Amino acid sequence: MYQLYYFPLNASMAPHFILEELGESFELVKVDRKSNGQKSAEYLALNPLGRIPTLIDKENGQEDLVIFESAAICIHLAESHPSSQLIPKVGERDRAKFFQWMMYLTNTVQAELMVYFYPEKYGVDSKAATDILNSQEQKITAMFALLDKELVNRDFLIGDNLTACDYFLFMLAIWADELKKPPLAFENLSRYLCQLAKRDAIIKTCRTEKFSLKDYL
């Protein structure tokens, strides 16, 4: 049994996709960002960073395992259910590629998107914020161009099977859908994303989180 502390369209979305894909029993616990619920004493006792998401893995007969950081949660879920093939097995060559792309997605693409969305956190004036937005948009567009190139004649980011990286990338693509050149504007990324959007896990998650997939149809 899992509990996922989430907020719609936040970094909890990738773990939400994976929980739906696994078909395991889980409970969604909404953390109201609009009222700074992630900064409440109750939530900080679980996740001292005060960020979303947090996963509680209620293992039978063991103390609850509490995990934060979206990518770490995705990896834990994939590792905990090896039959899902959401992460290559130890010893397989694609395993190194899995970690390469997961680290790229979270440490580079997600990190740069955070700067794009929250330039005011850098204590800049409105003109500087505009400059940051323009610079970040160029950086992020180049990152999606790299991913588009990687997906030439490919159905998945790694090997021949769906992995947690694909769900993580789909989440980031949703976040970036209002860029001047969004992920759907790239030929290979568009084909790839539209194919992923047909999966039941994505359909169910987006229905719950109230995100329309009409652009992916």
pLDDT for 23-79, tens place per residue?
999 999 999 999 999 999 999 999 999 999 999 998 766 789 999 999 999 999 999
CA distances for 16 relative to 11, 20, 23, 207, angstroms: 9, 6, 11, 12
pLDDT at 100 over 80: yes
The string over 36-66, giving b where at least 16 C-beta atoms fall within 10 Å of a residue's C-beta and e elsewhere, is: ebbeeeebeebbeeebbbbbbbeeeeeeeee
Percentage of the chain lying above the pLDDT 70 cut: 98
Choose the weakest-confidence range: 18-27, 56-65, 191-200, 201-210. Answer: 56-65
Q: Which amino acid is at 21?
A: E
Rounded to whole angstroms, the Cα distance separating 209 from 27 reads 14
Taking residues 68-95, report their average pLDDT: 97
Percentage of the chain lying above the pLDDT 90 cut: 88
Tell me the backbone φ, ψ of residue 55, rounded to 5 degrees: -115, 135
pLDDT of residue 121: 78
Tell me the backbone φ, ψ of residue 27, rounded to 5 degrees: -120, 135
Task: Give the closest residue to 147 by CA, choosing from 116, 186, 113, 110.
Answer: 186
Rounded to whole angstroms, the Cα distance separating 52 from 10 reads 7
Beta-strand runs (E) in 23-115: 26-30, 54-57, 65-68
pLDDT at 125 over 80: no
| CATH architecture observed for domain 93-216 | Up-down Bundle (1.20)
Span(s) in the chain for CATH 1.20.1050.10: 93-216
pLDDT at 135 over 70: yes
Class level of CATH domain 2-84 = alpha beta
Span(s) in the chain for CATH 3.40.30.10: 2-84
pLDDT at 197 over 80: yes
Summarize pLDDT for 156-184 with one digit per residue, the tens.
999 999 999 999 999 999 999 999 999 99
pLDDT of residue 123: 64
If you average pLDDT over every residue of the chain, what do you get? 95
Q: Which residue has the higher pLDDT, 83 or 119?
A: 83
Sheet with strand 26-30: strands edge to edge: 26-30, 2-6, 54-57, 65-68
pLDDT at 204 over 90: yes
Contact 21, 86 (CB under 8 A): yes
pLDDT of residue 124: 65
